Structure 1
Amino acid sequence: MGDICVSVAEKSREALLEQLRRLPERGAGCLEVRFDYLEEPTDLAEILDQRTCPLIATARRPEDGGRWNRPEAERRKLLRDACRAGFDYVDLEEDIAHHIPREGDAKRLISYHDMLGMPDNLPTLAHQLEAGDADVLKIAVMPQRVADTFRLLRWATSRKVPALVIAMGDLGVASRILNAKVGSPFTFAAADVASVVAPGMLTLAELRDVYHYPSIGADTRVFGVIGDPIAQSLSPKVHNAAFAADGQDTVYVPFRVPEEELDEFMAEATAFGIEGLSVTIPHKQRLLRHGDVRDPLVSAAHSSNTWVHAEGRRALFNTDGPAVLHALEQLRGTTVLENVTALILGAGGVSRTIAVVLGDAGAQVVLANRTRERAEALAKEVGVDAVDWEERGAVACDLLVNATKVGMVPKIDETPFPEASLREGMVVFDTVYNPERTKLIESAAARGCQVVTGAEMFVHQAEAQYRLFTGRAPKRGLMLEVVRQAFATNK
């Protein structure tokens, strides 16, 4: 299990000392003093006097992602002085480590940084780092493919010297969490969003409160969510909260997986031992080739949002459809939709699933999409009707479902349906969950419609996924509470 090491990148002496006092109280297990950011002379002894947890001395060069702008000789002298003064660790780049011999009790963190790419030969690089008389190895690189993250994690497990691996950027966020599972002694974090010093760096609060990083170890089970984009997903918050409340040694992490890399990712995820995935745009249909068995709705809708790998079997499920019916049942008291005309906006994977489940429940389903050809193609596949996008307001529907992205953050002032066509008594269901009260939902409520928010659907499908992942129900009401707390925090 590892510690969260917060990089303290302050310009002033006073701000640095204040952070050294405050951050351990907030849960930092280690602090990295970034001397390359410091613009005022500061006595090393004064810094060490504030120590209440291990300190790392770092003076990063620009080519390694830092801001050191003084002579190199001065930088090396500072690092030697930090060794003698009693810092717990001193970060030495691989190419200068042999110029700075071991002194005092400071541990040597021998590092390699590539802000632009991924090294071709990790074993050779490992030998070079170890040759620097290393106590800890560190590799921080920019992955070119999501599979590079798994390459780094595998590399760390094969080292005799503890290795800290970081894949930077949005392709490598998971490495900053999962490195604890492969033996990294700590991971780097920012004090807050404004203090991020490297691409993809998470904050102390995220690693502490969302991912529970100090509790992750070799036996921790791993689940996750894949999509592109993925940064705004609330799935890690809701699932990790449920796992923690259930007392499970489990972590749920986000993976940005570009569309063309899905097959490669799934092979790597299976080999790494990931036990389950939530799946979002653009992978819900392409995922079908990665399942050995599938539930009936997956077969009918040709779409899956849940992948579970257990006992050598890869199973595909669709929890979106049941979530829609559950939300409607809570509102109407029944899932029987005979004599109900349902207008679905959009022709993507979610629209396909909703069209199937509403049709099976007895509704007369009509599709509208900006591209008429896509609406007609989907309508033909699932046996429903289609209308031109411009005619959507003229459909005499009892149930309106928005399955487009219109109204989603950041374009919250947009709506996919003419306000004048909203009628009192209609049921309006928006699958967009961020924000919860979209412009469509607000307009519908103001006109006397019954409304179902995307947050309700999101929570119902997440609860169903949790049961598939664990065989247990999450704590009642917890996931919806977490979603609404997230919305309140982001306002």
Structure 2
Amino acid sequence: MAESVDQMLVQMQKAKEFGGDLVELRVDFLKNFVPRQDLDILIKQAPLPTLVTFRPRWEGGQYDGNENERREALRLAMELGADYIDIELKVAHDFFGSLPRERPEHVKIIVSSHNYERTPSVEELSDLVARIQATGADIVKIATTAVDIIDNARIFQVLVHSQVPMIGLVMSEKGLMSRILAAKFGGFLTFGSLEAGVVSAPGQPTVKELLDLYNMRLVGPDTKVHGVIGNPIHHSKSPLLYNASFKSTGFNGIYLPLLVDDVSTFITTYSSPDFSGFSYTIPHKEAGLKCCDEVDPIAKAIGAINCMIRRSTDGKLIGYNIDYLGAIAAIEEGLRASNGATLAPGSPLAGKIFVVIGTSGAGKALAYGAYEKGARVVVANHTYDEAKEVASKVQGQALTLAELNDFYPDEGMILANMTSVGMEPRIEETPVSKETLKHYSLVFDAVHTPKLTRLLREAKQSGAAIVYGTEMLLGLEFKVLRFRI
């Protein structure tokens, strides 16, 4: 999407180095575009096959000039050796009618339709495919917008039944899965940007993410789909861990960040056996439990799940909660290290006051885990009744967050923040005052973006040992991977 030919040549070389198969030239971004001169250079010097797109403003592009000149530039691109060109459905009939009878055989014409507001029904999409085919298109392209993550399923359904080569993508963050799973459902191609945030359409991942994070080359019709369900979800590090682990073990699976509004609707929509397992994070751990066919006793006692697996024998969804294992292990290790007794028997949590901030599914799980280790659990929350409900299950004490700053019945307490306070973008927020932190020997923060939160920074300044949220994540995901494999 560069503004000059020279910049485009540099970007094309990067596209090849990064692992692209072909490069789309968005010539509508060029300043002072001279079609014959510029296209001749770009097409002949391209290190990859080329797709030439000259997108007008009325279809979401940059070009706002004469329509006949735009179409003439696309015809010229065909003559000069472009491998693909993209023309919009709205003008496709006229464009095909203007082509010479003997057009270049090597070039494929993509006829595209973009919906920047929503994703239509399957029936409407099927009708749209038929209309595009009727123009004489070699390749059908439909790009819609996800209002909800379930909108992807309609594109998948149309893609998998398409009788012609088809590009089917859903824009926006909620449409990310369509761009990655295009390889599973038979999509002709998917688009990746060269740089994060510099995109030609909303929700576009980078080439490096597609190839190195999501292992796109390994995705096929039989690939099992997994992911982490949450809202927000862009900060999650789980895809990094799982996709690398799947690749290293030769497991034919992919793991995605899933921005979900309603868990029940998501689970009902993606009920295929190929959608075989999910992790759960804020705020959907309790809602996930309600969608299970069976629930592990520990998850039932906690009242939330962090892991759901579709049993291969009967398709039933089984819920588990091992949230506390990673966190408790990291906190115990931190305590032992700070006391210089890494091999001491028993849990260093036994008998200590363990303050849990938050009553989310993760908060409930950690309260349960601390109680199991013999700690005296205190649950603090904005809403006292919610704190009291969780505390009652672990024979603990309930506080409001306002009371927490004046709560120090003992020295050397342990504090665990299980809320999103301090997470990007609100990185200057903290759940307790710095003055209070001097009464704690160890502070743990489940937030892992950023790694060093304000809470942890001030705890360290106050003399407490600190445990990062990433340590919980690594410990937890390792246990889940062993459990699943």
Q: Same fold (TM over 0.5)?
A: yes
Deviation at 1:271, TM superposition (A): 2.2
Higher relative contact order (CA 8 A, sep 6+): 1
1:373 aligned to which of 385, 401, 405: 385
Native 8 Å contact 1:293 1:314 kept in 2: yes
2:409 counterpart (396, 407, 421): 396
Q: Which residue of 2 aligns with 1:416?
A: 431
Q: 1:137 maps to what in 2?
A: 140
1:365 deviates by: 0.8
After superposition, where does 1:242-253 map in structure 2 within 5 Å? 242-253=245-256
Q: Give deviations 1:121-151, integer Å, cap 9, x for gaps.
A: 1111111111122222111011222211011
Q: Where does the alignment leave 5 or more consecutive residues of structure 1 unmatched?
A: 1-8, 472-491
Matched, 1:318 2:321: yes
**Residue in structure 2 matched with residue 347 of structure 1 by the alignment:** 359
For residue 16 of structure 1, give the secondary structure of its aligned residue in structure 2. helix
Consecutive unaligned residues in structure 2, runs of 5 or more: 337-343
Asked if the contact 1:352–1:382 (Cα under 8 Å) also holds between the matched residues in 2, the reply is no
Task: Return 61-70 or 371-380, whichever deviates more.
Answer: 371-380
Alignment of 1:70-89 (within 5 A): 70-89=65-84
Moved more, 423-432 or 246-255: 423-432
- TM-score normalised by L of structure 2: 0.90
Structure 1 distance, partners of 2:251, 2:263, is: 28
Whole-Å Cα distance in 2 between the matches of residues 88 and 127 of structure 1?
A: 24
Shift of residue 230 of structure 1?
1.1
Greater shift, 395-404 or 109-118, is seen at 395-404
The answer as to 2:120 corresponding to 1:108 is no
**Equivalent pair of 2:415/2:440 in contact (CA under 8 Å):** no
In structure 1, distance between residues paired with 2:120 and 2:318 = 35
Q: How does 1:83-98 map to 2 (within 5 A)?
A: 83-98=78-93
| Shift of residue 224, structure 1, vs aligned partner | 0.9
8 A Cα contact 1:298 1:318, kept in partner: yes
Contact 1:347/1:375 (8 A) holds in 2: yes
- Residue number in structure 1 paired with 2:8: 16
> Offset of 1:338 from its aligned partner?
2.9
Q: Is the 8 A contact 1:134 1:161 kept in 2?
A: no
Secondary structure, in 3 states, of the residue corresponding to 2:176? Answer: coil
Q: How many residues align?
A: 460
Alignment of 1:164-313 (within 5 A): 164-258=167-261, 261-271=262-272, 273-311=274-312, 312-313=315-316
State the one-letter code of the partner of 2:64: N
- Cα distance change of structure 1 residues 388 and 127 upon mapping to structure 2, 3 Å threshold: closer
TM-score, scaled relative to structure 1: 0.89
* Matches of 1:214 and 1:461, distance apart in 2: 28
Determine the structure 2 residue equivalent to 1:50.
45
> CA deviation digits over 1:21-46, x for unaligned, max 9?
33212211110011111122243221
The structural deviation recorded for 1:299 is 0.7
Measured in 2, the distance between the counterparts of 1:400 and 1:313 equals 38
Corresponding residue number in structure 2 for 1:485: none
Aligned counterparts of 1:372 and 1:212: Cα–Cα separation in 2: 46
* Alpha-carbon separation, structure 1, partners of 2:440 and 2:75: 75
Distance 2:357 2:18 in 1: 46
In 2: Cα distance, 1:314 partner to 1:252 partner: 18
Secondary structure in structure 1 of the residue aligned to 2:28:
coil
Find the residue that maps to 2:319 and give its secondary structure.
strand
Matched, 1:35 2:27: yes
Question: Which residue of 2 is the match for residue 488 of structure 1?
Answer: none
Q: Secondary structure at the match of 1:24?
A: helix
CA distance in 1, matches of 2:14, 2:283: 42
Equivalent AA in structure 2 for residue 222 of structure 1: V
- Identity level (%): 32
SS in 2 for 1:195: coil
